[in-house]
Amino acid sequence: MKPVTFREITGNSKGYYMLLALLGLTVAAGLGSAWYMEHNGHWVTGMNNQIVWGMPHVFAVFLIVAASGALNVASMSSVFNKTPYKPLAPLSGLMAITLLAGGLMILVLDLGRPDRLIVAMTTYNFKSIFAWNMILYNGFFLIVGIYLWTMMQRNLNKYSKTAGFFAFLWRLALTTGTGSIFGFIVARQYYDAAIMAPMFIVMSFAFGLALFLIFLLATYQWTGRELGGYLVNRLQKLLGLFVASVLLFVVIFHLTNLYATQHHDVEDFILAGDNIYSGLFWVGYILLGTIFPLIICYAPAFRAAIGWTAAAAILVIAGGLSQMYIIIIGGQAFPMDLFPGKEVSSSFFDGVVVTYSPTAPEVMLGLGGVALAFAATLFAVKILRFLPLSLADAKVDPHHSAQGQ
Amino acid sequence: MSNEQDNTQNKQRIDRYRRKLLGGSAALAGAAALGSGVFFTSIARAKPDAEPASSEVRWGFLIDTNKCVDNCDKCVTACNDEFNLTGFGRPETDAQWIRTVTLRDKKTGHTTRLPLMCQHCAYPPCVDVCPTGASFKRPDGIVLVDKHICIGCRYCMMACPYKARSFVHETIENQKEYGPRGKGTVESCTLCVHRVDKDRIPACAEACPEKAILFGNMNDAGSEIAQRMASEASTEIRGDLRLNLGVRYQGI
């Protein structure tokens, strides 16, 4: 393996600026949507007193989960000594920060009182998982920032392993906290499950790597930098492993519920209901988000194919968003079981499956957060040396020279 | 009322003694005036303004669903009037602090109606999950939202097992000075804390023509609510959650 040289991307092409402008416009549309929602009140969204968290939360939780997952590539190199991933570690750390920033932008701007962010940052109820998460999110920025610093400043390189280890522990805590937002809710049938925390951790591996792959593959394709089949193949296999792991957790989650009679109703609703959630589960998550990516990642025909790997990543993202929609919206749409064995009706939608129709502003806010994450990443790789000049096999494959190629 | 005289005479005495005395005299007055409106206001004896809420008191409701009449929603109307909870014609987003719920037994077809509001849990999930501490419980068991530090995250609404909370989805006008509301914050039944602190009973209990909603201090063994709870069967909604509710029901 030869030493890897990191360089800023040139970033002066028409395409670069057009992409940045497009992302910037999307961020602006997201901000405008947030202003519109704040100005008029949340009645202009599809959210209501039954579905209290909507599309913004689907995007926000997806991005926050993916942020910790994006750090995985760096962890593979620093914590687990997988040297082929080392050249990708700075980008991995960068995307961990930008994706989290995008997710938090959505979450904060969807608050009923976003102007009170300072209250949220200064007044803590330490029994609240949200309060833990605020500490975990802020700490994540700090620790990953330090980790990036140790990676990118040569005389600090010796500390990068230690920093990477702490960042790894922190990201596990962060995703545990995110999963527990739902796992600790005893009131609702679809939540209240300890498995939510580890399930969110494995989901983060898959979603984070998928977003990382999209950016990596697109950037190397558009900048003309070399990306060898060795690394692509390894990342493909890794993505496949993560997707399979998520499937395992999803299967255990549903089997556990299906075993208990009291959960049959909600399982029937999610898995076999005449509603969008069952469609998203079987088509969005299982078929598009799991089976297709697994075939692409493991079938020899697609081995190391950049286009197919990108397709697998996009499918994993589609499946991941489906999963988030099912958990967040589906979990609220199913009526709470206040009176077991009774049919319930009221003026407040008790006992009925509530409908949710997201409106344009909330979708735009979600997309704005995604755009912010990618715009920040795109800008950062232009001004700082995050990306290796070449990721050719000779640069990253430890056995390359031994094979005499 | 004899309560007023007692209050003056015992002003310097410690709280516990005073409260027992008040409870006892209230019970006596109640026995004399059973069934009258006077009784229902006297039982709600609370505390002087300057005195903080006491953990020796546990305010609550005992609701007899057998008395709940079909198509009657006077408790709901009273609450809406008390806090100016005027809707915007959008049932999905309009606030409801109290609602009537109809239950139908799936096997027998038997129906029951009941008013449902914040259950003022002793261990409220909304207070647990609130990141800023805006959701809080007074020592006397009343669960409230501090509108000054609520950031509108709605996590309490996710966590409440009773769907008791509403988010203010639009600009509010004509608020009552004792019941501040604000767009972008969460709200729910306050157990008419402004009334209770002034020795009055909550608007819903006062409005119920059938006296189905009994308000009182559950910790006071001499109060009617405590005595009825001790002698008659009552239950908590989702008692399996062990939240120790401030609202108990009969007939469900």
Angstrom distance (rounded) from CA A385 to CA A4: 12
**Which candidate from B96, B161, B183 shows the least CB-CB separation from A347?**
B96
Place of tokens 């639009």: B170
Residue B43 falls inside a structural domain: no
**A188: which DSSP letter?**
S
Q: What would the pLDDT profile of A321-358 be if each residue is shown by its tens digit?
A: 999 999 999 999 999 989 988 999 999 999 999 999 99
Residue B1 confidence class, pLDDT cut points 50, 70, 90: very low
Instruction: Output the domain CATH number for residue B157.
Output: 3.30.70.20
Interchain CB distance below 8 Å, B166 and A187: no
Domain span at residue B120 reads 53-250
Angstrom distance (rounded) from CA A401 to CA A340: 68
Are A246 and A122 within 8 A, CB to CB? no
Q: What integer pLDDT is reported at residue B45 of this predicted model?
A: 52
Query: Mean of the pLDDT values across residues B225-245?
Result: 96
Average pLDDT, chain A: 94
- CA–centroid distance for A219 within its chain: 19
> Pick from B106, B185, B22, B162: which is nearest to A346 by CA?
B162
Residue A399 confidence class, pLDDT cut points 50, 70, 90: confident
Check if B188 contacts A (Cβ < 8 Å): no
* Residues in chain B, total: 252
Residue B133 falls inside a structural domain: yes
Q: What integer pLDDT is reported at residue A401 of this predicted model?
A: 63
Angstrom distance (rounded) from CA A214 to CA A211: 5
**Which candidate from B105, B152, B158 shows the least CB-CB separation from A111?**
B152
Q: What integer pLDDT is reported at residue B39 of this predicted model?
A: 42
Q: What would the pLDDT profile of B2-33 be if each residue is shown by its tens digit?
A: 444 444 444 444 455 444 544 555 544 444 44
Q: What integer pLDDT is reported at residue B31 of this predicted model?
A: 44
Q: Is the pLDDT of residue B77 over 70?
A: yes
Check if B108 contacts A (Cβ < 8 Å): no
Collect all residues of chain A within an 8 Å Cβ-Cβ radius of residue B103.
339, 342-344
Residue B36 falls inside a structural domain: no
Q: What integer pLDDT is reported at residue B140 of this predicted model?
A: 95
Angstrom distance (rounded) from CA B18 to CA B5: 12
- Residue B195, class by beta-carbon neighbours within 10 Å (0-12 exposed, 13-18 middle, 19+ buried)? buried
Listing DSSP states for B105-127 in one string gives ETTT--EEEEEEE----SS-HHH
* Shortest CA gap B184–chain A (Å): 4
Residue B51 confidence class, pLDDT cut points 50, 70, 90: confident
Residue B139 falls inside a structural domain: yes
**B238: which DSSP letter?**
T
Q: What integer pLDDT is reported at residue A3 of this predicted model?
A: 76
Which CATH code fits A6-337+349-396?
Answer: 1.20.1630.10
ipTM of the predicted structure? 0.92
Residue B9 falls inside a structural domain: no
Place of tokens 């806090």: B83
Q: Kindly state the tokens that stand for B61.
A: 């409701």
Angstrom distance (rounded) from CA B84 to CA B198: 20
Check if B93 contacts A (Cβ < 8 Å): yes
Angstrom distance (rounded) from CA A270 to CA B104: 25
Q: What integer pLDDT is reported at residue A339 of this predicted model?
A: 93
The count of CB pairs under 8 A between chains A and B is: 170
Query: Mean of the pLDDT values across residues A373-385?
Result: 97
Residue B161 falls inside a structural domain: yes
Q: Kindly state the tokens that stand for B231.
A: 């002698």
Q: Which residues pair with B99 in a beta bridge?
A: B116
Query: Mean of the pLDDT values across residues A386-397?
Result: 89
Q: What integer pLDDT is reported at residue A295 of this predicted model?
A: 98
- Best A329, A342, A345, A353 member to test B by mutation, with max B CBs in 10 Å, is A342
Total of domains in chain B? 1
